[in-house]
Amino acid sequence: MICRHFLTLNDLSGAELKQLIQRAIELKKMQHERVIFEPLKNRVLGMIFDKSSTRTRISFETGMAHFGGSSIFLSPRDTQLGRGEPIADSARVISRMVDCIMIRTHSHDNITQFAKNSQVPVINALTDDFHPCQLLADMQTFWEHRGDIQGKRIVWIGDGNNMCHSYINAACLLDFELVVACPEGYEPDALLVEKAGSRLTVLNDAKIAAKDADLVVTDVWASMGQEEEQKKRELAFNGYQVNEELMSLAASDALFMHCLPAHRGEEVSAGVIDHPDSVVWDEAENRLHAQKALLEFLLA
């Protein structure tokens, strides 16, 4: 059976991504008006989490409940996956029982291998390399506050990590200018940078990057799995905090986003994230609506 997976944003065309953003905005309005809409009645989402999560788990579980379906939380502690059952075998078995599988794991190869052996759509809920679900929410949030992102200047400050890679994919699909500022040695993947071409600039200076930004985005300096590098990274990322001074270099109406969880006093100052204009709480809520749009797109 041929089915569509969502392993990176590139599994969508630019037009499909825009359609999903608009659908997420509609679904959000319906949810706020308490409209009952159950296109996934009796459908089941399997959710495999090899790493911790607050937003991703709650948004997928709640989304499936709103849609009339259900979800199963699967952790390696309680499944045979955690005891070494091969990924391909697990994919064959689980996908004969559920209608869609969401995976948060370490290596991106794990999810690619899982998808190859799955009869049902597989959704990437974060790997070491990409976090496409978060980008659906971020792009929805930008659209709600500022309209079309095409041609806008988006500035990524910090680690060239999974979130940064997904921003690079989004820049190519939605045609915005992306400036990445990171310390030497923490740049995004060279192949992705090369493919992005002139849309992307990588700098080692946060202040130059922030100039005239329409959106400033950051993320933790040490991602899940990099906890033992925390101290080394705090030193390396000195000068890469998004604070009031850095935001003053951006456009006067610049938005600030962070996928959360955030570390105040490290990658972002409390003054920026807790400012009344901060859109990070909309961004977090939009995980729910954007993923409902994705589930409907893949399954309904």
Show which residues are catalytic.
104, 131, 134, 219, 259, 287
DSSP strand pairing (122-124 vs 100-104): parallel
Nearest distance, CB of residue 126 and ligand NVA, angstroms: 6
Nearest distance, CB of residue 51 and ligand NVA, angstroms: 7
Q: Which of ligand CP, ligand NVA, none does residue 162 bind (CB under 5 to 8 Å by kind)?
A: ligand NVA
Tell me the Cα Rg of the chain.
19
The answer to whether residue 53 forms part of the interface with ligand CP (CB under 6 A) is yes
Q: Which of ligand NVA, ligand CP, none does residue 163 bind (CB under 5 to 8 Å by kind)?
A: ligand NVA
Q: Which of ligand CP, ligand NVA, none does residue 8 bind (CB under 5 to 8 Å by kind)?
A: none
In this structure, the number of other CB atoms found within 10 A of the CB of residue 139 comes to 24
The answer to whether residue 19 forms part of the interface with ligand CP (CB under 6 A) is no
# binding residues, ligand CP (CB under 6 A): 8
DSSP for 9-51? GGGS-HHHHHHHHHHHHHHHHHHHTT----TTTT-EEEEEESS
In which residue are the tokens 């911790």 written? 52
User: Exposed, middle or buried: residue 153 (CB in 10 Å: 0-12, 13-18, 19+)?
Assistant: buried
Strand (E) positions, 119-186?
122-124, 153-157, 177-181
Nearest distance, CB of residue 76 and ligand CP, angstroms: 16
Which of 56, 169, 241, 269 is in the footprint of ligand CP by CB under 6 A?
56
The answer to whether residue 259 forms part of the interface with ligand NVA (CB under 6 A) is yes
Which of 4, 13, 26, 54 is in the footprint of ligand CP by CB under 6 A?
54
Nearest distance, CB of residue 123 and ligand CP, angstroms: 13
The answer to whether residue 259 forms part of the interface with ligand CP (CB under 6 A) is yes
Say how far apart CA 132 and CA 11 lie, in whole Å: 10
Nearest distance, CB of residue 162 and ligand NVA, angstroms: 5
Rank residues 124 and 269 by Cβ distance to ligand CP and give the closer one. Answer: 124
Say how far apart CA 128 and CA 165 lie, in whole Å: 10
Q: Which of ligand CP, ligand NVA, none does residue 54 bind (CB under 5 to 8 Å by kind)?
A: ligand CP
Tell which residue, 120, 106, 96, has the closest CA to residue 76: 106
Binding mask 157-176 for ligand NVA (x = CB under 6 A): ----xxx-------------
Say whether the peptide bond before residue 261 is cis (omega within 30 degrees of 0). Answer: yes
Secondary structure class of 201 (helix, strand, coil): strand
Which of 12, 40, 101, 220 is in the footprint of ligand NVA by CB under 6 A?
220
Strand (E) positions, the chain?
44-49, 70-74, 100-104, 122-124, 153-157, 177-181, 200-203, 215-218, 255-258
**What residues make contact with ligand CP under the rule CB under 6 A?**
53-56, 126, 134, 259-260
